[in-house]
Amino acid sequence: MNFEVTILGNSSASPTSSRHPAAQSLKIHNNHILIDCGEGTQMQLSRYKIKRADITQIYISHIHGDHMMGLPGLLLSMNLARRESSIEIFCPQELVEVLELYFKYSETNFSYKINYHLLNEYTSEIIFENDDYTVKSFPVFHRVPTWGFIFQEKRKYRKINQEACKKFNIPFEAYTSIKMGNDFTDENGLIIKNIDLTFDSIAPLSYAYCTDTLFHENVIKAVTGVDLLYHEATFLHDRLERAINMMHSTAKQAGIVAARAMVKMLLIGHFSSRYEALDELLAEAKSEFDNVELADEGKCVNLNFI
Amino acid sequence: MNFEVTILGNSSASPTSSRHPAAQSLKIHNNHILIDCGEGTQMQLSRYKIKRADITQIYISHIHGDHMMGLPGLLLSMNLARRESSIEIFCPQELVEVLELYFKYSETNFSYKINYHLLNEYTSEIIFENDDYTVKSFPVFHRVPTWGFIFQEKRKYRKINQEACKKFNIPFEAYTSIKMGNDFTDENGLIIKNIDLTFDSIAPLSYAYCTDTLFHENVIKAVTGVDLLYHEATFLHDRLERAINMMHSTAKQAGIVAARAMVKMLLIGHFSSRYEALDELLAEAKSEFDNVELADEGKCVNLNFI
């Protein structure tokens, strides 16, 4: 059951030659999702061998350019490639208006359907659900309406008890059926109960994406207990005043959120272009929470192994 | 008198991991100009050490995303850097509407003024002029209103006749005045006529930017006699039908335009992502016109040396 995040961009509003604006690729089981789509995302997808054709959903946190200016180009490239399957975009209402005006003037006839799902500014709610995962949005605290997202997988399958299966000589071909909760009947008609061949599933994994926000108690509440938290860390804490003015967080604050929300692992990103090296940002977050890593571009974190 | 073009992007609509959408930096004397601004241009500027703060003018050929989707991000980054001097943008009316709607929703308060200059769809005309250069727009033939641009420098100074200046013992400090056409008066009051100390200036250099167009007689007429021509070459000629349908040109056609327009040098770009290697496109253009080069990203062509 694959559940992994690949970082495509870790820059804040002003990108550098080596750091791109916000974008992440998320794979949950066989679902391919894009979270934010800053300028250059389609090139980053290509660089990290992620097929844009596979993407079925795009979640946009807010309308600031570094989180969505790659979206029109990506949608146009999907069109040039004659995409047929529809795409679901979860985003603010204003973004729809801008996109639709632009597509009108660029005289684009889409080969596929774009379904917009508007985010609700005031409540935390389930905005998508299928057999594999649910997505919950929650408001964060930035200069324009901005949302965080929690992606939580559904564990459909029980965990195979390898030792028991070996003991009962269960053939490998039967594992899928057993994982799905079925008993096993051998060639002599003997029934072996599922409970004797499997363990309960582990708790479903969850990922919280939380960018462009002030440090805030409500954010801590919203992300409490997730396995992996991505939290913005635009500045070092010596620029707290600037962070507050711009409605961003510091690396230290990201660490505090992770610690208080009792997550398993923290990824920090959305770094200001003023920092050429990022080690100080990492050290500052680590002073508050141990298991933290930089959201280096190209980094892939598999939630099954944290 | 510097006059040089640096290529920032050479891809057509679907960029690849190594080729970016259209953008060029143009330096005429001390004027810094950007031509087109596809997605990722601000990162490319940074990669090639071109300061965005120096840019005073931006020319946008048309509203398709691969020619302008880097513009909002660039303007926002200039704002974050607290730019004070105004910027001049020459572009279609529709682009202004899209930008202004976007800036309204992103709640951007600009620290500098953006002056828009709308392009006229139906005529070829001088759209800008200062002491150093003139810019002429001309309509080309694409699916939406699209313009080519000709940048022509003004030669303000006469050329020093080194031999004559040596003969008359002219001090080096007097050269600037002499270049400007003044006579020289020596310490004994003897006047040496400017014409005896200088040559006529060489003809002013000119650069034509011509992208996203069908092969067309009017384009050839418009760019006739320029020193350097950038012409799109989206496809090889075996895809002429596709080129015509998409209102693009082939590499062979770009070569024909250069030959018939009697330019000194041709740069081809705007390559389809279907071509991993570009040597065939170059060879095809070369079959029609000898002095042609690929618009490789990062390439800088100085018009004084072609």
pLDDT of residue B1 exceeding 80, the answer is: no
Q: Give the mean model confidence (pLDDT) for residues B76-104.
A: 96
pLDDT computed for residue B279 by the predictor: 97
**A7 beta partners:** A24
Pairing type for strands A228-232 and A265-269 reads parallel
**B33 beta partners:** B26, B57
- Which of A11, A12, A16, A17 is the mutation pick for testing B, counting most B CBs within 10 A? A17
- CB-based contacts of A143: which residues, under 8 Å, 6+ apart? A246, A247, B107
Say if the Cβ atoms of A144 and B107 lie within 8 Å: yes
Q: Output b/e per residue, B2-30; b: 16+ Cβ within 10 A.
A: ebbbbbbbbbbbbbbeebbbbbbbbbbee
pLDDT computed for residue B179 by the predictor: 87
| Alpha carbons A203 and B104: distance in angstroms, whole number | 44
Q: How large a percentage of chain B has pLDDT more than 90? A: 88
pLDDT computed for residue B122 by the predictor: 81
pLDDT computed for residue A176 by the predictor: 87
Tell me the per-residue pLDDT of B48-67, one tens digit each, with 9 for 90 and over: 999 999 999 999 999 999 99
Please list the rounded mean pLDDT of every run of 10 residues in chain A (306 residues): 94 90 96 97 95 97 96 96 97 96 94 96 92 96 97 87 92 89 91 92 91 97 97 98 97 98 98 96 98 98 91
Residue appearing with tokens 């509407």 = B97
Pairing type for strands B184-185 and B87-91 reads unpaired
- CA of B242, closest CA in chain A: separation in Å? 13
pLDDT computed for residue A133 by the predictor: 97
Does residue B66 have an active-site annotation? yes
DSSP A27-49: EETTEEEEEEE-TTHHHHHHHTT
pLDDT computed for residue B159 by the predictor: 87
Question: Which tokens hold the place of A278?
Answer: 């990022």
| Number of residues that make up chain A | 306
| Alpha carbons B239 and A28: distance in angstroms, whole number | 40
Single-letter amino acid, residue A23: A
Measured between beta carbons, which residues in chain A are less than 8 angstroms from residue B98?
Answer: 98, 101-102, 105
Say if the Cβ atoms of B98 and A101 lie within 8 Å: yes
Say if the Cβ atoms of A105 and B63 lie within 8 Å: yes
Say if the Cβ atoms of B101 and A105 lie within 8 Å: no
- CA of A186, closest CA in chain B: separation in Å? 53
B148 in reach of chain A (CB within 8 A): no
| Alpha carbons B280 and B193: distance in angstroms, whole number | 55
- CA of A16, closest CA in chain B: separation in Å? 6
- Which of B12, B20, B43, B61 is the mutation pick for testing A, counting most A CBs within 10 A? B43
pLDDT of residue B150 exceeding 80, the answer is: yes
Sign of CA dihedral B187, B188, B193, B196: negative
**Scanning every residue of chain B, which has its alpha carbon at the shortest distance from the alpha carbon of A42?**
B15
pLDDT computed for residue B155 by the predictor: 78
Measured between beta carbons, which residues in chain B are less than 8 angstroms from residue A16?
Answer: 43, 46
Q: Give the mean model confidence (pLDDT) for residues B88-107.
A: 96
pLDDT computed for residue B106 by the predictor: 92
pLDDT of residue B72 exceeding 80, the answer is: yes
Q: Catalytic site residues of A? A: 66
* pLDDT mean across residues, chain B: 95
pLDDT computed for residue B201 by the predictor: 78
Residue appearing with tokens 């033939």 = B141
**CB B135, CB B59: distance < 8 Å:** yes
Measured between beta carbons, which residues in chain A are less than 8 angstroms from residue B97?
Answer: 101, 105
**CB B53, CB B80: distance < 8 Å:** no
The values of phi and psi at residue A4, to 5°, are: -140, 150
Which of A43, A279, A70 shows the shortest CA–CA distance to B73?
Answer: A70
